[in-house]
Amino acid sequence: MARPNHDHIHLRCLRDTYARLGCFPSYAQMAIALGFKAKNAAYKLTQRLIASGHLMRSVGGRLAPGPYFFTAEMTDKEVRASFEVESEASTIMHSQAIEHLIVTKPSQTVLLKVRGDSMVNAGIHSGDIAVVEKSNQATSGQIVVAEIDGYFTIKQFQSKSDGTAALVSRDEQNRTVTPRQTFNIIGVVKGIIRSYHPPAAGRTA
C-alpha cells in the first residue's frame, strides 16, 4: 500500500521555518523538525518540492524559495465587511501566489516604503509598502511615484486639459502641486502591503 503524501504539510512547516530564520535548515535539522527518521527523507522531500516549483537551487547549490513557495490557500468565497448578510464558509480552496495578486511584471516591479500621511484618503498610510511598477507614463487618476522639482513623492497623477501635469494629495487638504522645473513619473502604484496590528484589548479608536 502506498504511503500517504504529506508534502503539503511539510511545506507549511518549511515556510514557517524560512520566515523565522530567513534560510532553510540543513537536511539533518529538517529531518528532526519534520519527524523523519533519516536526513535522506528530507533530501527526497526537497527534490519533490523542486520538481513542483516550490523550491529551487540557487548559486552554490543552496536551497531557495521557488516560484510557488509563497503560495497561500485561497477560498472561492468573499467575506462581507457588514453585519446585514450572513456568509457561509467555503470548503473549496486553491493555491494562490500572493505576489500574483498584484504583480504582473516582476522584472519591472519594486517595493517602496511610504512615509507621511498625504494619501490616507486613498487608503495609503505611513509605513505601508507600495508595490510600484516602473513606468514613465500614467493615466490621469492613477497613484504614482514621481520626481517633482528634485524630490520624490507618492501622489495621485492628474493630467490637465491644457496638457500640463500635476500631483494631488489625498488627505484633508487635497493639495495640488504643479512642477516648476522638473517632473518625471517613476512608476505606477499597483497595490499596497500593510502589516495589520489590531489595537490592544481594552483600547478604543
Catalytic positions, written as ranges = 118, 155
Q: From CA 2, how far away is CA 118, in angstroms rounded?
A: 60
Distance CA 156, CA 146 (A): 10
Stated as kind and residue range, the H or E segment containing 185 is strand 183-193
Sequence-ordered list of residues with C-beta below 8 angstroms from that of 73, at least 6 positions apart, any chain: 93, 94, 95, 96
CB 142 within 8 A of CB 124: no
**Rounded Cα distance, 43 and 30, in Å:** 9
135-139: long-range contacts, CB 8 A cutoff, minimum separation 24: 135/108, 135/185, 135/187, 135/188, 136/184, 136/185, 136/186, 137/185, 138/185, 138/188
Calculate Rg over the CA atoms of the chain.
23
Contact 18, 29 (CB under 8 A): no
